[in-house]
């Protein structure tokens, strides 16, 4: 039995996209990388930024700004990517910046506020209120379900 109290915490990898703080459950994030040599995919949905080879693995890059209905980045800073996996396929979520691993008390995220933008709410698994910040917990499965979102639009 652990006595350090860590058993009662959820860990999230934090990321910023368009100035908004997001948290991804740490168990879902396999890698953090700078995408290089991205190959565009003809006729792919606009959320698909392209594919790349990452240490022998083909990774599909998802442009999270596009996915969330945000405008393209205005600065020239290179985007970062968080590597995630779904059903044996590897994806890189393009984000503006990666933060720290955040530990929050082990409680379910609060429901989305009614005034949360619909494009954020549809990919949110809830929120955590932090000191002066709102962290949206990203639902990785819904984020990667681009075909269902495209047909619903």
Q: Look at residue 93 and tell me if it is in a domain.
A: yes
> What per-residue confidence (pLDDT) applies to 147?
58
The SS3 call for residue 151 is helix
Q: Look at residue 143 and tell me if it is in a domain.
A: yes
Q: What is the pTM of this model?
A: 0.87
- Rounded CA gap, 79 and 93, in Å? 10
> What per-residue confidence (pLDDT) applies to 150?
46
Q: Look at residue 120 and tell me if it is in a domain.
A: yes
Q: Look at residue 1 and tell me if it is in a domain.
A: no
Written as six digits, the tokens of 35 are 């995408």
Low-confidence ranges of the chain (pLDDT < 50): 1-3, 150-153
Q: Look at residue 89 and tell me if it is in a domain.
A: yes
State the DSSP string of 78-110: PPEEEEEEETTEEEEEEESEEEEEEEEESSPPB
Written as six digits, the tokens of 67 are 């996915």
Supply the CATH number for residue 116's domain: 2.40.50.180
- Full domain range(s) for residue 19: 6-152
In percent, the amount of the chain with pLDDT more than 90 equals 68
Q: Look at residue 57 and tell me if it is in a domain.
A: yes
Number of domains in the chain: 1
> What per-residue confidence (pLDDT) applies to 2?
40
């Amino acid at each position: 039995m652990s006595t350090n109290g860590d058993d009662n915490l959820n860990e999230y990898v934090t990321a910023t996209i368009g100035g908004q703080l997001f948290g991804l459950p740490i168990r879902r994030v396999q890698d953090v990388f700078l995408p290089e040599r991205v190959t565009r995919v003809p006729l792919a949905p606009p959320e698909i930024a392209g594919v790349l080879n990452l240490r022998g693995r083909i990774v599909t890059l998802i442009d999270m700004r596009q996915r969330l209905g945000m405008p393209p980045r205005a600065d020239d800073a290179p985007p970062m990517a968080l590597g995630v996996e779904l059903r044996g396929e590897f994806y890189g979520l393009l984000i503006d910046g990666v933060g720290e691993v955040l530990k929050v008390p082990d409680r379910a995220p609060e429901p989305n506020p009614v005034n949360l933008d619909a494009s954020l709410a549809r990919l949110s698994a809830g929120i955590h209120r932090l000191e002066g910040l709102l962290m949206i917990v990203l639902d990785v499965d819904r984020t990667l379900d681009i075909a269902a979102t495209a047909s619903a639009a």
